[in-house]
Amino acid sequence: MNSTFTKILRLILALGLIVFGLNKFIGFMPMPELPTQAANFMSSLNATGYVLPIVGALEVIIGLLLLFNKAVPFALLLLVPISVNIVLFHLFMDLPDIWGALVIAIINAILIYKHWKLYRPLF
């Protein structure tokens, strides 16, 4: 569970989540040019006033839990619906930029697999 490979993946995932989560609050990275349908969807989420801040806060919290190696199995479970939605967003609305979403989802899946003994009682 604590191999060097697992630690590196955990840190990469943590840093990515913290950066992209903070970006939802601070906006230090410009929004890439999105197809019309995807841009409309993102502007609708932004117009609610609560969806993107909650997702951003969850990403930062999950990233910090992973970074400091606290409650990692719980953090990975919290990340599952977020990573699935990121992949689905890119799959249906922005396919050319799906690679980043796949990286997040694959790293999450690998880390869940590495902690599978802890999840077994759930099934």
pLDDT in tens, 22-72: 999 998 998 889 999 999 999 999 999 999 999 999 999 999 999 999 999
Q: Which pLDDT belongs to residue 2?
A: 72
Pairwise CA distance, residues 85 & 52, whole Å: 13
